[in-house]
Amino acid sequence: MKSHTQEEQTSVKQHLDDRPLPFPTLTAALSHWAENTPEALALTVGSEELTYAQLSDRVLRCAAWLESEGVKPGARVVIVGHNSLAWVVHYLAVLALGAVIAPANNRLNPRQFADQVALLDAALVLSDEAHAKTVAEVDRGRLRLLADGNQLAQAGGLVFPAPDVPALISFTSGTTGKPKGATLTQRALSEASWAFVRVLRTTRDDSTLVVVPMFHNTGFVDQFGHMLLLGGRTDLLPKFHTADAVAALAARPVTYLAAVPSIIRLISVADGARKALEPLRTLLYGGSPMPAAWIEELLANWPHLQLFHGYGLTEYGSAISFLLPEFAREHGESVGFPVPGTTVRIVGEDLRDVEPGEVGELWCQGPTMMQGYWHQPELTDQKIHDGWLRTGDLAREEDGLYYIEGRVDDVINRGGEKVLPSHVEGLLATLGPVGLSCVFGVPDPILQYRVWAAVEERPGTTFDETVAREALRACLPDYAVPERIAVVNPLPRTASGKVDRRAVAAHLTTSS
């Protein structure tokens, strides 16, 4: 594997915070800050506030209640609901008991949700009232409403679960296919959150607003877990609406925001955004590259912003690599360098490392890697090879920078020629009228697959397919130019805000 360039090595050393992980578990962090900075704000939702002392007290009460409901160390507890104080209190209470929390995608249908509960043999299912339909097929005896921790019974002191016991099961591909629950230990969950501190160099004076659903790693690792370890403040947006996010940022300024590019874009061009985003110091985007034009606009409007591109995986706790602010303009499509303590390699189909510049599957290993998929040893064996986590992402390395080229299973085989959707999408993103795009394969009896695309128009513009195809022909081989480019306003998204490639393909192939 090729080492970083001298420029990046210097930049990495300047950015990295060498503070070691201070708390092996999130429970230990909560206990520490409740004792040492009891009056500091820990958590808010709108006008509701909890100091570290109040949050600790509610978590203690909730843990006592869960214990009275039969939750023991190692038991699995599923939680589903909109972002709320109660969601966080119950999440921490389960961890404090040494039980295993399983945050559920709140967009699952009742059958999918029930399948996950069955796979886990969950002791309890915690839900808010808004998700009564989601939990409709779950055994009533397992269901409990998320409660206000202040109304729960008194309790003793916090316990300190062992760092290396299972703590969290995070499901991947929850909207399609067989559910897979990535199991992380208490220490891995803490290490995953601390990785953001080491690269972003945040402190207890920092704060964040969670605009994504809390069940997503961005919410409970990148933001909340990150702030909890530091003793910083986390604000929650119950459910994302652009105007609500801008209003929340204006009412209670924060220094750090994390989201996928599409959500960041919606916020940055909304009414009132200029003033609301002014206090921001750090902006982290992930899930996909940020179009160069968007980066330029962000830095033109807020030149003090530090833009970080993060790349991660549920099975790895979250972050695998970061692109530093110095490289945002010239290398915005790169995911940067590996997180400290993480080792990566790019492997070809022969399971050997490829040469720099060649595309292969990205493998990684480090302290935040999952133990495996819960009760699915065959799937675990497919994902973990000789201690390495196979990400399923195609990547290349050039001059020390890593670039994600798509998913192994997203590559389109058109008559023997391989087409990387992400490469075509990157070219579409340079066209003025294109806000977002999605490239996918359509089954064909002769060619195996044909290349199609869908685009979401930028507000106030009109997409011209003929002009777009002519532009693509100038930079792509003919077999990679989409045969059809449809306008879909808006493109369907997953719960985390990414374009849902499978949903787009299904919509266009059934409607044509």
pLDDT score of 477: 86
pLDDT score of 416: 79
Q: Counting Cβ atoms within 10 Å, is residue 158 exposed (0-12), middle (13-18) or buried (19+)?
A: buried
pLDDT score of 156: 59
Phi-psi region of 375 (alpha: psi -120 to 50; beta: other; left: phi over 0): left
- The secondary structure of 356-372 as a DSSP string is TT--EEEEEESTT--SE
1 pLDDT above the threshold of 60: no
Q: What is the share, in percent, of the chain residues with pLDDT greater than 90?
A: 77
> Where is average pLDDT lowest: 183-197, 219-233, 411-425?
411-425
Residues 23 and 472: their CA atoms lie apart, in Å, by 51
pTM of the model: 0.83
Smallest CA-to-CA distance from 298 within 273, 322, 323, 321 is with: 273
Cα of first residue to Cα of last residue in the chain, in angstroms, is 46
Looking at the domain 6-402, which fold is it?
Rossmann fold (3.40.50)
pLDDT score of 359: 92
503 pLDDT above the threshold of 60: yes
Residue 19: which pLDDT band, with cuts at 50, 70 and 90?
confident
pLDDT score of 407: 81
Residue 402's DSSP bridge partners are: 336, 397
Smallest CA-to-CA distance from 53 within 62, 42, 61 is with: 42
> Where is average pLDDT lowest: 23-32, 183-192, 474-483?
474-483
Q: What is the share, in percent, of the chain residues with pLDDT greater than 70?
A: 93
| pLDDT tens digits, one per residue of 132-172 | 999 999 999 999 999 765 555 565 566 678 999 999 999 98
Domain residue spans of the chain: 6-402, 411-511
Residue 418: which pLDDT band, with cuts at 50, 70 and 90?
confident
| pLDDT tens digits, one per residue of 387-405 | 999 999 999 999 889 999 8
pLDDT score of 14: 63
Q: Specify whether the CB–CB gap between 333 and 315 falls below 8 A.
A: no
| pLDDT tens digits, one per residue of 284-318 | 999 878 888 899 999 999 999 999 999 999 999 98
pLDDT score of 193: 97
- Helix-strand-coil percent breakdown of the chain, rounded to 5? 35, 25, 40
Residue 175: which pLDDT band, with cuts at 50, 70 and 90?
very low
459 pLDDT above the threshold of 60: yes
Between the alpha carbon of residue 403 and those of residues 302, 331, 390, the distances in Å are 26, 9, 16
| pLDDT tens digits, one per residue of 40-73 | 999 999 999 999 999 999 999 999 999 999 999 9
Residues 409 and 400: their CA atoms lie apart, in Å, by 25
**Across 361-390, average pLDDT:** 96
The answer for residues whose C-beta is within 8 angstroms of residue 371's C-beta and 6 or more apart is: 166, 183, 184, 185
**Across 334-354, average pLDDT:** 94
380 pLDDT above the threshold of 70: yes
Alpha-carbon torsion, ordered 258, 365, 204, 48, to 10 deg: 50
362 pLDDT above the threshold of 50: yes
The answer for residues whose C-beta is within 8 angstroms of residue 361's C-beta and 6 or more apart is: 346, 347, 348, 390, 391, 392, 393, 394, 395, 408
pLDDT score of 176: 38
pLDDT score of 3: 43
The matching CATH number, chosen from 3.40.1180.10, 3.30.300.30, 3.90.650.10, 3.30.1330.10, for 411-511 is 3.30.300.30
173 pLDDT above the threshold of 70: no
Q: Counting Cβ atoms within 10 Å, is residue 288 exposed (0-12), middle (13-18) or buried (19+)?
A: buried
